[in-house]
């Protein structure tokens, strides 16, 4: 198989995946997550049900299309920190940039989408699971960065503190979105909140896991 053929095949896969995701999101917003079936999504995207589940093994993955990026986000921020930069400083810098960019991974998903999550017990539970998985991924990177033993308490505690900080800020973005604030106002409010949150962590973690 030529490189060109492989490239076309991968491009087609990305298009199919995006089409399924777009149709699923539309149906979820129109009818609610719980009341939308995989069969309806497949019909709307003009693919087989098996194709949908091949791309998205779990129905929740159709709603949280960026879940892999979300889970890896904190770990990636620490992994790519600059020389002399601590884990906390890297996470503060990356979070500030995500707020300025109104990044969906940070929580900027729009009122309709946030309302959909709030109304769905399944999605609310899945979001909680994703936060937990993100914290676990961060713990692994912190353990590697500090040379800690597997299961060491220090990276676990640090990941819990840093993960909770991001969880709280994510929740604040959702609260403001549901309250009807626009993205610019949300960014301004959460930017100030983030300064307070990260400042609280500075005495304990300011020098932790410095590159």
How far is the C-alpha of 155 from the C-alpha of 163, rounded, in Å? 11
Average pLDDT for 10-30:
93
How far is the C-alpha of 113 from the C-alpha of 133, rounded, in Å? 21
How far is the C-alpha of 57 from the C-alpha of 179, rounded, in Å? 33
What does the pLDDT read at residue 135? 97
The secondary structure of 97-165 as a DSSP string is HHHHTT-GGGT---HHHHHHHHH-HHHHHHHHHHHHHHHHHHHHHHHHHHTPPTT-HHHHHHHHHHHHH
What does the pLDDT read at residue 6? 62
How far is the C-alpha of 211 from the C-alpha of 87, rounded, in Å? 8
Q: Which domains does the chain carry? A: 3-62 (1.10.10.60), 67-205 (1.10.357)
What does the pLDDT read at residue 41? 97
Which residues, in sequence order, are CB contacts of 60 under 8 Å at separation 6+?
67, 122, 123, 126
What does the pLDDT read at residue 40? 97
Does residue 5 have a pLDDT over 60?
Answer: yes
What does the pLDDT read at residue 4? 61
Q: What is the Cα Rg of the chain in Å? A: 19
Does residue 192 have a pLDDT over 90?
Answer: yes
pLDDT tens digits for range 56-106: 999 999 999 889 999 999 999 999 999 999 999 999 999 999 999 999 999
With b meaning 16 or more CB within 10 Å and e meaning fewer, what string describes 66-85? Answer: ebeebbbbbbbbbbebeeeb
Mean pLDDT of the chain: 94
Query: Looking at residue 47, what DSSP letter applies?
Result: S
What does the pLDDT read at residue 53? 95
Q: pLDDT band for position 8 (50/70/90)?
A: confident
Structure tokens belonging to residue 98: 């995500």
pLDDT tens digits for range 125-142: 999 999 999 999 999 999
Give SS3 for 85.
coil
What does the pLDDT read at residue 11? 85
How far is the C-alpha of 124 from the C-alpha of 186, rounded, in Å? 21
Does residue 1 have a pLDDT over 60?
Answer: no
């Amino acid at each position: 198989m030529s490189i060109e053929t492989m490239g076309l095949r991968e491009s087609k896969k990305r298009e199919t995946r995006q089409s399924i995701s777009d149709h699923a999101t539309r149906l979820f917003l129109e009818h609610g997550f719980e009341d939308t079936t995989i069969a309806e999504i497949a019909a709307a995207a003009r693919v087989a049900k098996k194709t949908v589940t091949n791309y998205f093994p779990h129905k929740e993955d159709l709603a949280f299309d960026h879940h892999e990026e979300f889970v890896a986000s904190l770990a990636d921020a620490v992994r790519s920190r600059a020389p002399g930069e601590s884990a906390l400083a890297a996470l503060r810098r990356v979070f500030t940039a995500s707020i300025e960019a109104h990044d969906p991974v940070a929580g900027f998903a729009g009122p309709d989408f946030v309302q959909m999550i709030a109304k769905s017990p399944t999605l609310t539970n899945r979001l909680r699971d994703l936060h937990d998985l993100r914290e676990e991924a961060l713990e692994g990177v912190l353990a590697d960065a500090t040379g800690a033993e597997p299961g060491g308490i220090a990276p676990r505690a640090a990941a819990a503190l840093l993960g909770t900080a991001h969880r709280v800020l994510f929740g604040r973005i959702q609260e403001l979105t549901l309250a009807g604030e626009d993205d610019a106002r949300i960014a301004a409010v959460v930017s100030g909140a983030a300064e307070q949150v990260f400042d609280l962590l500075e005495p304990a973690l300011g020098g932790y896991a410095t590159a």
